[in-house]
Amino acid sequence: MAEPDPSAAADKAAFPGSESWSDLTLLGLDIGGTTSRAWLWAAGTVVAESRAPSASLPASGRDGARAALAELLAGVRADEAAPLDAIGVGSAGLSVPGAREFLREQLAPLTRSGALVIVADAMLVLPAAGLDAGVAVVCGTGSVAVGSFAGRSVQAGGWGYLLGDEGGGYWIVREAIRTLLSRRDNCQPAGELGARLLSATGAAGLPALHRLFYARPHRPGDWARHAGVVLDSPDIDAVAIASRAADAVAGLTESAIRKLDAPFNLPVVLAGGLLGNAAFRHLARNSVAQVRPGADVRVLTAEPVAGAVRLAALAARRDGERPPSATGDPGGR
């Protein structure tokens, strides 16, 4: 891996109120279903960062997750020889037995006193946005909403790609493939959407794409990465899929706010890889605004890993005590 560039990392270190952390050395990890990020905080700023494949146990398996963690830690030069004050981790797949224990086993020895907080990756969004209360909706490989208000935390969605994750990247691509198969059954051409998906996946034709999809049943990230192909397509059915995905985002938002019994104008933060698509970002914001008119709907501009650094600082100051909001497993991004 290339040597970290501290000056580049420090430009991202906009942490209001972090003056009280200036004496701490912290590590923040954002472990999604596809990729992982790490930020090392020291002397009042982010001094190093790294990126690696997913270090989630269910996404990569034990050997793959261990290798990804090793790559992340090497990239920020974190090891037991220079113990950290605390580590904050947001990870996909914590509901899988052994996933939380695996992370604790690998990371706790790097801290001075075992100060380690582990939450689901979606729980990083609100602290990354500088909020203590609100609803965060994450759309990446999957989809989930989490919310915090008046000391309560809730989750809506995040059931995983086999049962839900409507509006997530895997769901979008799966719906596109279903559309193409339906066209074939009705003697209709695959059209522009078919041409784009075949090109992106390298499949020789729709039968090959069909077989390829079933050949990778347990790797949703492999398919979610093609979501942009669908979202950017002018195909009428692709536009409809994007609209339904945006409505799913709004539905998750509404469910989380209702479960919280929170004020109508509770802030809503949208995050995740799909929000990098300008057209989908516009659709999602509009859909949420329609179900929650007047609410403060924003798109996360900070890196979610910034939320992990904040949680690490809280863990250090509370001598390793787990934050009240750090509960549940909102699934993968």
pLDDT surpasses 70 at 16: no
What rounded mean pLDDT belongs to the chain?
Answer: 86
3.40.50.300, 3.30.565.10, 3.30.420.40, 3.60.40.10: CATH of 6-129+302-317: 3.30.420.40
Q: What is the pLDDT of residue 14?
A: 57
145-149: list long-range contacts, CB under 8 Å, 24+ apart.
Answer: 145/252, 145/253, 145/255, 145/256, 145/330, 146/120, 146/122, 146/256, 146/328, 146/330, 147/256, 147/257, 147/259, 147/260, 147/262, 147/266, 148/260, 148/325, 149/260, 149/261, 149/262, 149/266
Residue 2, pLDDT above cutoff 50:
no
Q: Which amino acid is at 318?
A: R
Looking from the CA of 227 toward its CB, the CA atoms found within 13 Å total 27
* Cα–Cα separations (whole angstroms), residue 305 to 60, 66, 241, 299: 20, 19, 30, 15
Q: Provide the pLDDT confidence category of residue 132 given band limits of 50, 70 and 90.
A: confident
pLDDT at 184 over 80: yes
Q: Which CATH number applies to 157-299?
A: 3.30.420.40
Cβ distance 76 to 4 under 8 Å?
yes
Residue 6's pLDDT band (cuts 50, 70, 90): very low
Name the pLDDT band for 316 (thresholds 50, 70, 90). Answer: confident
Q: Does 35 have pLDDT greater than 50?
A: yes
- CB contact set of 81 (below 8 Å; sequence gap of 6+): none
Distance CA 149, CA 132 (A): 8
Give phi and psi for 69, each to the nearest 5.
Answer: -60, -40
How much is the pLDDT for 325? Answer: 42
Would the pLDDT of 183 be above 90? yes
How far apart are the C-alpha atoms of 307 and 124, rounded to whole Å? 5
Quick check: 54 pLDDT over 60?
yes
Alpha carbon distance 48, 5 (integer Å): 6
Residue 136 phi, psi dihedral angles, 5° rounding: -115, 130
Range 293-315 average pLDDT:
90
Supply the pLDDT for residue 328. Answer: 40
Higher pLDDT: 272 or 216? It is 272
Q: Is the pLDDT of residue 326 over 70?
A: no
Quick check: 10 pLDDT over 50? no
Query: Given a cut of 60, is residue 332 above it in pLDDT?
Result: no
pLDDT for residue 295: 85
Task: Decide if pLDDT at 71 tops 50.
Answer: yes
**Domain parsing of the chain, residue ranges:** 6-129+302-317, 157-299
Q: Mean pLDDT across the stretch 52-72?
A: 90
Res. 333: pLDDT tops 70: no
- pLDDT of res. 32: 84
Worst-scoring range by mean pLDDT, 12-16, 74-78, 148-152, 182-186? Answer: 12-16
Beta bridge partners of 37: 30, 51
Q: Would the CATH topology of 6-129+302-317 be identical to that of 157-299?
A: yes
Q: How confident is the model at residue 282 (pLDDT cuts 50, 70, 90)?
A: very high
> Over 80: is that where the pLDDT of 263 sits?
yes
Half-sphere exposure of 304 (CA within 13 A, CB side): 31
Rg (CA), the chain: 20
Q: How confident is the model at residue 101, as a pLDDT?
A: 94
Higher-scoring residue by pLDDT: 217, 81: 217
Q: Which of 101-105, 262-266, 276-280 has the lowest mean pLDDT?
A: 262-266
DSSP 8-state code for residue 111: B
- Asked if residue 124 lies in contact with residue 330, where contact means CB atoms within 8 angstroms, the answer is no
Among 136, 170, 131, which Cα is nearest to 155's? Answer: 136
pLDDT of residue 30: 95
